[in-house]
Amino acid sequence: MTESVLNWFMNLLSGMPNQLIVFIVSMVPLIELRGGLIAAALLGMPIGEAVLYCLAGNIVPVPFILLFITPIFAWLKKTKLFRPLVEKMEAQSLGKSDRIRKYEFWGLVLFVGIPLPGTGAWTGALIASLLEIRLKKAVPAIFLGLLLATAIMCIITYGIPALVKLF
């Protein structure tokens, strides 16, 4: 699914500079940095430049989520239309929060850093907000998690293909 969404975004953004495409793709929930690095590799962007734009794109939404998602959710839950959606999102996010709740900082680092479906900076920031983890702890944990995800995804998107070309 992520691949088809990524292809749709890349087609939608075609004609824009590659750096902007990678930055925007990295900002999108579910795709995030993982998809941004894949897009960068497909566009032939050098790894250093790709990392810079992917990290920047993925970190931009985090402070807004941490600061504003709880009041936005509270407001949306007052409406008949959005209450079920918000409650479902909260339940799904909190359902993934056991390790974060237990280990807080390092749990959040690993949750954001291990590139699996349903994890990443957006969900990590949402969970941190719902668990009322302080900004001083949440922001560095999410950023460290993004660095871990970057390292893993760089190996997958740039390292493995380079090794395959050698052999």
Q: Which residue has the higher pLDDT, 88 or 118?
A: 88
Q: Calculate the average pLDDT of the chain.
A: 91
If you write DSSP's letter for every residue of 49-70 in order, what string do you get?
A: HHHHHHHHHHHTHHHHHHHHHH
pTM of the full predicted structure? 0.86
Residues 1-25: pLDDT tens digits?
A: 556 766 776 677 778 899 999 999 9
Q: How many residues does the chain have?
A: 167
The full set of domain ranges for the chain reads: 2-59, 61-148
The reported pLDDT for the residue numbered 2 is 58
Residues 48-60: pLDDT tens digits?
A: 999 999 999 999 9
The reported pLDDT for the residue numbered 9 is 66
Contacts with 135 (C-beta within 8 Å, 6 or more apart), sequence order: 63, 66, 67
Return d(Cα 83, Cα 86) in angstroms, integer: 5
Instruction: State yes or no: pLDDT of 112 exceeds 90.
Output: yes
